């Protein structure tokens, strides 16, 4: 069996992966809204919106897809851990009853594991598509409202932007939208899909093992805070087949095998072998304690453990909501006074509630992963995009901080090579090679440490890459960068033993990026001084 505590914890690694994705998507939406020109005519707005929706959907898919490999690894790891835990715990019970469990699991049980893994991984693949569709609709709705408010004069752009971002962050990224109007957040969908998949796979393995061991009776696990309609099964013994006299059939009594029943959607209940004449594991007093209507008290209100845990989950959702908003407002370059105060308020309330009810704080449930770019929000221009546009000295501390941040950003981009290739009329494969060479691979042999490493981050290159990707205000030295790197890579490929600095100098004889960039920043300084 899998204990309720084990099932509660098993979703953490994947939940973290998708929490990071959610934060990244929301921050990107916030930046897009904050830079939009809401004063354009309706016809132009509709045209631009369609293009933006397509881009947004593709980038959401890319953001989630890049986690696919890690997700599959985590699903497999949890499935295998669940299988091992199930076999070990049930094996110990069979051993106590004098039954010898085979050391190796049967081929049929292995088939169950493979099937469970395939099914659960498939749910996550579908989740990428449904999230992209639902989240894009969220973004469209927020953008439409902001445009309408500004175009009609009801709000100024900044106020409309704040309201749009608040609406997105309050709800969180929606993964599944139902015709009824109900929707599930990415957090809920991920947690439920994994917990349900793991538990159902383990339960099918237990059924198979029980069949192989000639056992028909099982006892349902019990835990505090169970759903009221599930609590009635706790600690009771049922027959798997319905063939043992005096016992109800498990499926008929508990709905086992259905979404709403035992082992269904997000259920933490399991079962384990029981033998005729054996005493039940849970005492009557223990089961009553789990469901007491006045088990805990908070600010004069008595509640059951289930109600207390639901209140705890509600507070955790509020913490995450305000953290999402705080992060998104930062990404958009907007004031965060309100959201920061709300985060503190709900954190204080959470600590107080847990202390007075005796519930354990679940810190992993209150985390909101800020986008990497927020570390350097101080370098944002007035439009909310982190561009480093104010930087006139590429050798300054501000330039170094921006470059370091933006290099990390570039490594996370999935569509930049395609955009740059389109903007310059170049082959996408060439731009991808440049990206790998400049930002991703260990392309430089460092004589001092005698190791291969990545190139140091460079503010000029970071800004060139950004302009080339956006496709606006492209400078002459930005174009030179591409030609220089292509030639430098070719020289190094044709001369493998040639030192990097020599290859760089040879390429600079034809395409001198450094000289052109120095001239550009020199002119910026002159303009700033004269201004």
Tokens in use for 369?
A: 């992963």
Locate tokens 């930005």: which residue? 478
Tokens in use for 33?
A: 């809204």
Q: What is the DSSP letter of 362?
A: -
User: Are 411 and 462 in contact, with CB atoms under 8 Å apart?
Assistant: no
- How far, in Å, CA of 319 to CA of 501, rounded? 51
Tokens in use for 450?
A: 């005698």
At residue 491, the pLDDT reads 95
User: Are 343 and 319 in contact, with CB atoms under 8 Å apart?
Assistant: yes
For 334, phi and psi rounded to 5 degrees? -105, 165
- How far, in Å, CA of 402 to CA of 378, rounded? 9
Give the bridge partners for 452, in sequence order.
Answer: 445
Tokens in use for 330?
A: 């930062």
Whole-angstrom CA distances from 378 to 15, 33, 467, 475 are 30, 19, 19, 24
User: Are 387 and 423 in contact, with CB atoms under 8 Å apart?
Assistant: no
Going by DSSP bridges, is the β-strand pair 271-274/296-298 parallel, antiparallel, or unpaired?
Answer: unpaired
Q: Is 307 helix (H, G, I), strand (E, B) or coil?
A: helix
At residue 377, the pLDDT reads 32
Q: Is 41 helix (H, G, I), strand (E, B) or coil?
A: coil
At residue 413, the pLDDT reads 76
What b/e string do you get for 458-473 counting C-beta neighbours within 10 Å, with b at 16 or more?
Answer: bbbbbbbbbbbbeeee
Going by DSSP bridges, is the β-strand pair 444-446/451-453 parallel, antiparallel, or unpaired?
Answer: antiparallel
Q: Which residues touch 102 (CB under 8 Å, ≥6 apart)?
A: 212
Locate tokens 């890579």: which residue? 489
At residue 385, the pLDDT reads 37
At residue 507, the pLDDT reads 93
At residue 104, the pLDDT reads 76
At residue 530, the pLDDT reads 54
- How far, in Å, CA of 394 to CA of 89, rounded? 62
- How far, in Å, CA of 170 to CA of 187, rounded? 13
Tokens in use for 390?
A: 């104010």
- Helices and strands counted in the chain (H then E): 19, 9
pLDDT by residue, tens only, the chain of 531 residues:
787 778 877 787 788 778 878 888 888 888 888 888 888 888 888 888 887 787 778 888 888 887 777 788 888 888 888 888 888 888 888 888 888 777 777 888 889 888 988 888 888 888 888 888 888 888 888 889 888 898 888 988 889 999 989 988 888 888 876 666 677 888 788 888 888 888 898 899 888 888 888 899 999 998 877 888 898 898 999 999 999 999 999 999 999 988 889 988 888 888 999 988 888 888 888 888 887 888 888 888 988 888 888 899 899 888 988 988 888 888 888 888 998 999 999 989 999 998 998 888 876 666 654 433 333 333 333 333 344 455 667 777 777 777 887 888 788 777 889 999 999 999 999 999 999 999 988 888 876 667 888 888 888 999 999 889 888 789 999 999 999 999 999 999 999 888 888 899 899 999 999 899 888 888 876 655 555
């Amino acid at each position: 069996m899998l204990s309720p505590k084990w099932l509660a914890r098993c979703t953490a690694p994947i939940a973290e992966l998708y929490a990071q994705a959610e934060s990244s998507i929301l921050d990107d939406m916030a930046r897009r809204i904050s830079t939009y020109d809401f004063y354009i005519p309706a016809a132009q707005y509709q045209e631009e919106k369609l293009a933006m929706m397509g881009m947004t959907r593709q980038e959401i898919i890319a953001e989630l897809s890049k986690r696919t490999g890690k997700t599959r690894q985590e699903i497999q790891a949890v499935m295998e851990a669940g299988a091992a835990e199930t076999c070990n715990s049930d094996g110990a019970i069979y051993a106590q009853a004098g039954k010898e469990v085979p050391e190796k699991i049967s081929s049929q049980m292995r088939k169950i594991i493979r099937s469970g893994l395939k099914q659960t991984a498939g749910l996550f693949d579908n989740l990428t598509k449904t999230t992209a569709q639902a989240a894009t609709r969220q973004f469209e709705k927020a953008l439409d409202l902001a445009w309408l408010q500004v175009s009609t004069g009801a709000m100024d752009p900044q106020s409309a932007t704040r309201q749009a971002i608040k609406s997105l962050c309050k709800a969180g990224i929606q993964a599944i939208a139902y015709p009824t109007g109900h929707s599930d957040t990415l957090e809920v969908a991920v947690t439920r899909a994994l917990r349900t998949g793991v538990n159902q796979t383990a339960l099918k393995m237990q059924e198979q093992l029980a069949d192989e061991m000639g056992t028909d009776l099982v006892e349902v696990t019990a835990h505090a805070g169970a759903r009221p309609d599930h609590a009635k099964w706790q600690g009771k013994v049922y027959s798997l087949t319905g063939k043992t006299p005096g016992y109800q059939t498990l499926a008929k009594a508990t709905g086992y095998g259905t979404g709403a029943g035992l082992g269904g959607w997000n259920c933490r209940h399991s079962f384990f072998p029981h033998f005729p004449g054996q005493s039940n594991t849970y005492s009557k007093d223990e089961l009553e304690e789990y469901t007491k209507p006045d088990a805990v008290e908070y600010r004069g209100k008595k509640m059951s453990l289930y109600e207390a845990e639901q209140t705890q989950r509600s507070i955790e959702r509020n913490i995450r909501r305000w953290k999402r908003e705080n992060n998104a407002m930062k990404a958009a370059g907007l004031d965060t006074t309100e959201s920061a105060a709300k985060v503190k308020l709900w954190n204080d309330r959470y600590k107080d509630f847990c202390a007075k009810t005796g519930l354990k704080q679940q810190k992993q449930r209150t985390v909101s992963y800020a986008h990497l770019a927020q570390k350097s929000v101080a370098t944002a221009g007035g439009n909310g995009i982190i561009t480093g546009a104010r930087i006139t000295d590429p050798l300054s501390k501000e330039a170094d901080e921006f470059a370091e941040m933006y290099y990390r950003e570039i490594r996370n981009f999935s569509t930049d090579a395609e955009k740059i290739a389109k903007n310059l009329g170049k082959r996408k494969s060439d731009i991808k090679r440049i990206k790998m060479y400049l930002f991703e691979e260990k392309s430089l042999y460092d004589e001092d440490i005698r190791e291969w490493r990545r190139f140091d981050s460079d503010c000029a290159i970071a800004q060139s890459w950004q302009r080339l990707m956006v496709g606006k205000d492209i400078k002459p030295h930005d174009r030179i960068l591409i030609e220089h790197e292509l030639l430098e890579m070719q020289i190094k490929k044709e001369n493998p033993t040639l030192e990097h600095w020599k290859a760089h100098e040879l390429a600079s004889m034809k395409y001198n990026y450094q000289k052109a960039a120095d001239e550009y920043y020199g002119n910026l300084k002159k303009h700033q001084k004269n201004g």
